[in-house]
Structure 1
Amino acid sequence: KSIKTFIVVICESVKVSRGYPAQKCKSGPVDLVFLIDSSRSVRPHEFETMRKFMIDILDTLDIGPNTTRVGVVQYSSQVTWLHTATWTPWSKALTRSSPSPQGTMTGLAIKYMMNMAFSAEEGDRPKVPNVAVIVTDGRPQDRVAEVAAEARDKGIEIYAVGVARADMTSLRAMASPPFEDHVFLVESFDLIHQFGLQFQDKLCGKAGKHDCEQICCVSTPGSFYCVCPEGQLLQDDGKSCACKSANIDLVLLIDGSKSVRPQNFELVKKFVNQVVDSLDISAHGTRVGLVQYSSRVRTEFPLNMYHSADEIKAAVMKVDYMEKGTMTGLALKHMLENSFSEAEGARPTSRNIPRIGLVFTDGRSQDDITEYAKKAKEAGITMYAVGVGKAVEDELREIASEPVEKHFYYTTDFTAISTIAENLKLNVCPGTTLWAAPKDTTQQETQRGRNIYTFHRLHSFFHV
């Protein structure tokens, strides 16, 4: 039944893209706000393409006071509220929009969206999903991570669409998890309709608020049900997922240096426990080990010490903060030579159980990481690198396995690391990769390739 629902939605999107009469999406009520970048870098013909992209999406929606309400925020150095979602016809609002030869204050626009656009005075409804789509072609000139996190905490689901020169790190800082569903990067404004097709699918699948976690919500008449990504199983609560093939050896290396600070170290421990919550822990399934490092390295517990999630989470919360330096290279050496040894609980390589290492750091390493980052990957360990604050991107990329875009995460603020943990729930589970980046592919090229691959795959499969 879920496959039929999915095919119907995609087929309707493809029909629209090929000139067939648009069939209105019968979604549940949604309050939708577009934030459109109109800074000096957006050329007039590109702005016109972006405006047409919004109109094409809105043409497929059932817009009305009791169904979908739409608002438009235009921003550059200032913010302009083009459309009140309750009364003004959205087509008239869009015709009034025009590019502005000024800067790119994306954080200011998000704050306005959160406090003004999604307010009762402007037509926002209680208990109706709030969805925001940010379309930008450049790097923000103000801070976005904190205000975007605040907006997400208020229940606003954020899609970040980057075009051409857009900065991937900024897009991730703004978007809701999982990033694979909420971050899109296209090469030019001419290709922005690729996001439109995927977004129509997601919006049409909304049947009012639901509590599916990190998974697809499939709508049925008057109801919905949750579906897990490939490689995961729906749990008894009907809304969360765990790995189906939960037989991995996972070692987490957490930075306990002085720069982290005690209150942030508590957030790091919660981050670890979020990752643990997504796994099926047992002696014969997933095993988890924890290593803390600063100027020295300390095994908090090896892979073979605990065999349930509750035991691991309790042990994590009891870990004492080390302080002092940041010897990431020494920690990688310890992980390779000790943590993934059979003596500490790693299963023999002959059993082909995936070995995964996750490094969490907030700063530049005080020793060389090159040798043991390379040796770990050569030993068959899949490496994830998670950075926060003053972490160095080049070091994180050197630690991460290929494709780097899938194994490297960064945020400016410790309060946002829970978002990264949510996204890691998908990636640590074994599954099929639909699109793999060639070696030496940049982060932006990887995301761009995945989006284009998805677009062409849908067109070729649902050829109507």
Structure 2
Amino acid sequence: MSFFKDVRNGAAADIVFLVDSSWSAGKDRFLLVQEFLSDVVESLAVGDNDFHFALVRLNGNPHTEFLLNTYHTKQEVLSHILNMSYIGGSSHTGKGLEYIIHSHLTEASGSRAAAGVPQVIIVLTDGQSEDGFALPSAELKSADVNVFAVGVEDADERALREIASEPLSMHVFNLENVTSLHDIVGNLVSCIHSSVNSERAGDTESLKDITAQDSADIVFLIDDSDNTGSANFAVIRDFLVNVLERLSVGNQQIRVGVVQYSDEPRTIFSLDAYPSKAMVLDAVKRLGFAGGELANIGLALDFVVENHFTRTGGSRAEEGVPQVLVLISAGPSSDEIRDGVLALKQASVFSFGLGAQAASRAELQHIATDDSLVFTVPDIRSFGDLQEQLLPYLVGVAQRHIVLQPPTIVTQVMEVNKRDIVFLVDGSSSLGQSNFNAIKDFITKVIQRLEIGQDLVQVSVAQYADTVKPEFYLNTYHTKRDAIAVVKRMKALEGSALYTGSALDFVRNNLFTSSAGHRAAEGVPKLLVLMTGGKSLDEVSQPAQELKRGSIMAFAVGSRAADEDELKEIAFDSSLVFTPAEFRPAPLLSMLPNLLAPLRTLTGTTEVHVNKRDIIFLLDGSDNVGKNNFPYVRDFVTNLVNSLDVGSDNIRVGLVQFSDTPVTEFSLDTYQTKSEMLAHLRRLQLKGGSGLNTGSALSYVHANHFTEAGGSRIQERVPQLLLLLLAGPSDDAYLQAANALVREGVLTFCVGASRADKAELEHIAFNPSLVYLMGDFSSLPDLPQQLIQPLTTYISGGVQEVPLTQPGKPPASVGPSPSSDVLPAAVTNATPEGKDGKWVHFGWTS
């Protein structure tokens, strides 16, 4: 993301480290300081970010290690830091700060302050300065320098606060000992990003300038679970009141809605509930805490999209008004969030993640539109500190300084995974209308998440009670829209009895037939989803056995009134029995991910579907992996190849390692048999190298492997796949190379381990859904179990170039249309060419 007019598309800042060495005597302790400095540089200098670094050490007098313009690459900076030796001395932190002001924050020393680039100082000290901080601290604040104070070894908290910039909650880090430095790197880097970005996004002065023309629809989604607690909930309520006091709330300006969630989400008030600011504030002040064991964020995200960011929910999305979600979380989600996040993106909702206590930062980053829109504090009592960080962004959205923009490339992944699915639904009078409606809604959600089509997934729906009524057959509809429209119009049979056994026989004899659309000749799997609210009045054992003999894989979903033993007898396997607490939207929705996974993948056999594919493995062979971890990488590739139908007429495999430069291990046409390939893999050794040029490696495989000369069958329209494994951020630009692969239709999967950058992987992957993040290398050999299905069944569902100017975007009078780098199916970051450099553009695939 960029807020800068004079630099590339990443974030930018001039960062000066001031290291007080007086307390770090001893080689081991000083090594920890070096490691900390290296980790911060490594974490900031990724992708298209443009950070310049300088380092000053204190050994009595300040000593310049290097200036902002001394080095031009990350490797040079890291090399200098790692080669420094320990020097002791007294602690004159005030003198060091003054020295930086006059000797480093100048144009001659490489400062870009005149170009609008933020100036940052990171002070590492014991907080016991012998000369005081007051004079230089005041000078720094008047010079608009962002100062972060990191204190160790019982540092003086008051002294640290005197040095640091506001808000203190994100600029002061006080540690008990030097060994804790490593633990704060992520939080420090995040705070640096937030502070430099908010500096460019708009300062608090502009908050007074909201006019009647500014507008947004903002829904606050608040954690109401036991993670928050009753006492802490009052802090969140006060935070909300203070934020809204500063915004121009009104029916024609900023509309506000509030939803609280725990086990289930509940609407407190909708976007159009209150026409005036006073009424909204009164409603917020009345918010109460309910509590709940679970924190189902995924369910809540789905709920908000379906019930609030809609016209009936008071949304003005159709009028081009920005849609904003502010999630406030105090703990990790109890359910799967992936589908909810996708729904947010498809609805073009601008999402913020605010977290405290046990909230998962990684989860918030996944939900938020951009990592810089995630704000966290250690505990809820500090939530008020986030107000000044959040407000400039909310104002920026309302004033159209921050806008969503479509990506220039939209990609879609489809699964070549044919299956015929019949839904058999209880339509008896005893079920009740509300339960029947919940079942209809659930089936609609399932169909929405399947790839419906004549050559893909076909669905049929039937109701039963004392008789069976087919609503439509497998070959009736070939689009989601048509099938869903019929499901939504369904009326319950209202039959007086429930004969499940005879209904199962009817499905087997009448719905899984060629005339009804079943593709028996193609060997397409047959799946049945039974949804019942009671015990059958007839015998189900024999019909259930006949289903299994006919290779029909039955899922059994039953309410509390259903007989669990009966459900187990009907189901193809006991793992396919689902018993939600009740047939209501929330319980059904919470089980959706668990039902969808086998519904999409179950075949009734362990065989992998044989088809033609060309797969290139592109492996990080740099020191990021290291010799100790490389055996895990080798086992990962070996296990995956072992599961593939390798052969010159089936699946061809090639392998490339890279660090500074790429090296071909073998091409797509090198080996004709799996045994020869596995023998090579057993001998595979780490390439080694300190650099990681992912962009040049992507270009290399494109030019040398996805070609006829490289053994590719691309001209025969055989699917082309790339599996990239990274253990660290790229040292070179990669977007252009990734885009070229996308345009070629190459399906790029990304696996990240160790220090791999999630955003970078999502940019490189054909689609963000093809990114797999592993906690550590030891879990890599188990990943093939997840990868084998998509690697052997996914194809490109289309690559579409989208013009940058779209209907519904800000009018021309707002500002010039910026140019943008092309990101494949991920966030698009555009650098503004306007005068003030305050334009920020986000885009994603839908």
Q: Is the 8 A contact 1:79 1:108 kept in 2?
A: no
Give the alignment of 1:189-200 within 5 angstroms. none
The more displaced of 409-418 and 318-327 is 409-418
User: Structure 1, residues 222-268: CA drift from partner, whole Å, max 9, x if none?
Assistant: xxxxxx3xxxxx7xxxxx34366422111110001112122321221
Output the CA distance in 2 between the equivalents of 1:435 and 1:346: 17
**Pairwise CA distance, 1:277:** 2.6
Q: Is the 8 A contact 1:132 1:157 kept in 2?
A: no
| Counterpart for residue 340 of structure 1 | 309
- Aligned pair count reads 333
Output the CA distance in 1 between the equivalents of 2:166 and 2:387: 18
| Counterpart for residue 358 of structure 1 | 326
Output the CA distance in 1 between the equivalents of 2:123 and 2:291: 33
> Any stretches of 5+ residues in structure 1 without a counterpart?
1-9, 11-32, 55-74, 93-105, 184-211, 216-227, 229-233, 235-239, 460-464
Output the CA distance in 1 between the equivalents of 2:143 and 2:219: 37
Output the CA distance in 1 between the equivalents of 2:831 and 2:184: 20
Amino acid paired to 2:255: R
User: Structure 1, residues 301-329: CA drift from partner, whole Å, max 9, x if none?
Assistant: 11112122232222112111111221111
| Counterpart for residue 603 of structure 2 | none
Output the CA distance in 1 between the equivalents of 2:168 and 2:185: 20
Q: Is the 8 A contact 2:169 2:385 kept in 1?
A: no
| Counterpart for residue 24 of structure 2 | none
Output the CA distance in 2 between the equivalents of 1:442 and 1:297: 29
Q: Is the 8 A contact 2:352 2:373 kept in 1?
A: yes
Of 348, 357, 362, the match for 1:380: 348
Q: Is the 8 A contact 1:133 1:159 kept in 2?
A: no
Q: Could you say what secondary structure the match of 2:247 adopts? A: coil
Alpha carbons of structure 1 residues 353 and 37: separation in structure 2 relative to 1, 3 Å: farther
| Counterpart for residue 181 of structure 1 | 199
Amino acid paired to 1:336: V
Output the CA distance in 2 between the equivalents of 1:125 and 1:322: 46
Q: Does 1:299 align with 2:272?
A: no
Of 181, 191, 214, the match for 2:204: 214
Give the alignment of 1:361-440 within 5 angstroms. 361-401=329-369, 404-428=370-394, 429-430=396-397, 431-432=400-401
Output the CA distance in 1 between the equivalents of 2:374 and 2:196: 14
Q: Could you say what secondary structure the match of 1:376 adopts? A: helix
Report which structure shows greater RCO (CA 8 Å, sep ≥6). 1
**Pairwise CA distance, 1:177:** 5.6
Output the CA distance in 1 between the equivalents of 2:331 and 2:363: 10
Of 234, 243, 247, the match for 2:215: 247
**Pairwise CA distance, 1:360:** 0.9
Output the CA distance in 2 between the equivalents of 1:272 and 1:322: 17
Q: Is the 8 A contact 2:133 2:163 kept in 1?
A: no
**Pairwise CA distance, 1:363:** 0.8
Amino acid paired to 1:109: T
**Pairwise CA distance, 1:340:** 2.2
Amino acid paired to 1:117: G
Q: Is the 8 A contact 1:247 1:285 kept in 2?
A: yes
| Counterpart for residue 40 of structure 1 | 34
**Pairwise CA distance, 1:83:** 4.0
Output the CA distance in 2 between the equivalents of 1:344 and 1:112: 56
| Counterpart for residue 47 of structure 2 | none
| Counterpart for residue 125 of structure 2 | 109
| Counterpart for residue 286 of structure 2 | 318
Q: Is the 8 A contact 2:260 2:268 kept in 1?
A: yes
Alpha carbons of structure 1 residues 181 and 244: separation in structure 2 relative to 1, 3 Å: farther
**Pairwise CA distance, 1:374:** 0.6
Alpha carbons of structure 1 residues 52 and 323: separation in structure 2 relative to 1, 3 Å: same
Q: Is the 8 A contact 2:18 2:123 kept in 1?
A: no
User: Structure 1, residues 58-80: CA drift from partner, whole Å, max 9, x if none?
Assistant: xxxxxxxxxxxxxxxxx999982
Of 241, 250, 254, the match for 1:286: 254
| Counterpart for residue 99 of structure 1 | none
Output the CA distance in 2 between the equivalents of 1:52 and 1:107: 16
Q: Could you say what secondary structure the match of 1:117 adopts? A: coil
| Counterpart for residue 64 of structure 1 | none
Q: Is the 8 A contact 1:134 1:159 kept in 2?
A: no
Output the CA distance in 2 between the equivalents of 1:317 and 1:359: 18
Q: Does 1:81 align with 2:92?
A: yes
User: Structure 1, residues 163-202: CA drift from partner, whole Å, max 9, x if none?
Assistant: xx9945314548996753299xxxxxxxxxxxxxxxxxxx
Give the alignment of 1:127-206 within 5 angstroms. 133-134=146-147, 167=185, 169-173=187-191, 179-181=197-199
User: Structure 1, residues 125-154: CA drift from partner, whole Å, max 9, x if none?
Assistant: 89x969775479xx988999x989966999
Amino acid paired to 1:412: P
Q: Alpha carbon RMSD of aligned pairs, Å?
A: 5.6
Output the CA distance in 2 between the equivalents of 1:318 and 1:124: 42
User: Structure 1, residues 327-361: CA drift from partner, whole Å, max 9, x if none?
Assistant: 111211221121223333223x4312221111110
**Pairwise CA distance, 1:418:** 2.7
Output the CA distance in 1 between the equivalents of 2:34 and 2:264: 50
**Pairwise CA distance, 1:405:** 2.6
Output the CA distance in 2 between the equivalents of 1:256 and 1:346: 23
Identity score, percent:
20
Amino acid paired to 2:384: S
Q: Is the 8 A contact 2:133 2:159 kept in 1?
A: no
**Pairwise CA distance, 1:53:** 5.2
Output the CA distance in 2 between the equivalents of 1:132 and 1:213: 14
| Counterpart for residue 266 of structure 1 | 234
User: Structure 1, residues 91-118: CA drift from partner, whole Å, max 9, x if none?
Assistant: 89xxxxxxxxxxxxx89838557x9834
Alpha carbons of structure 1 residues 132 and 253: separation in structure 2 relative to 1, 3 Å: same
Q: Could you say what secondary structure the match of 1:305 adopts? A: coil
Alpha carbons of structure 1 residues 117 and 379: separation in structure 2 relative to 1, 3 Å: same
| Counterpart for residue 191 of structure 1 | none
Q: Could you say what secondary structure the match of 1:395 adopts? A: helix
Alpha carbons of structure 1 residues 49 and 166: separation in structure 2 relative to 1, 3 Å: farther
Output the CA distance in 2 between the equivalents of 1:296 and 1:77: 58
Alpha carbons of structure 1 residues 243 and 451: separation in structure 2 relative to 1, 3 Å: same
Output the CA distance in 2 between the equivalents of 1:377 and 1:87: 47
Q: Could you say what secondary structure the match of 2:125 adopts? A: helix
Alpha carbons of structure 1 residues 132 and 353: separation in structure 2 relative to 1, 3 Å: closer
Give the alignment of 1:38-77 within 5 angstroms. 39-41=33-35, 47=56, 52=67
Output the CA distance in 1 between the equivalents of 2:190 and 2:305: 30
TM-score by length of 2: 0.32
Alpha carbons of structure 1 residues 80 and 49: separation in structure 2 relative to 1, 3 Å: closer
Output the CA distance in 2 between the equivalents of 1:140 and 1:419: 20
Q: Is the 8 A contact 1:177 1:214 kept in 2?
A: no
Alpha carbons of structure 1 residues 149 and 255: separation in structure 2 relative to 1, 3 Å: farther
Rg larger for: 2
Alpha carbons of structure 1 residues 279 and 88: separation in structure 2 relative to 1, 3 Å: closer
Alpha carbons of structure 1 residues 282 and 149: separation in structure 2 relative to 1, 3 Å: farther
Q: Could you say what secondary structure the match of 1:80 adopts? A: coil
> Any stretches of 5+ residues in structure 2 without a counterpart?
1-5, 7-15, 22-32, 39-53, 57-62, 70-85, 104-121, 173-182, 408-734, 739-749, 751-756, 763-820, 822-827, 838-846
Q: Is the 8 A contact 2:193 2:372 kept in 1?
A: no
Output the CA distance in 2 between the equivalents of 1:414 and 1:271: 10
| Counterpart for residue 330 of structure 1 | 299
Of 208, 225, 244, the match for 1:276: 244
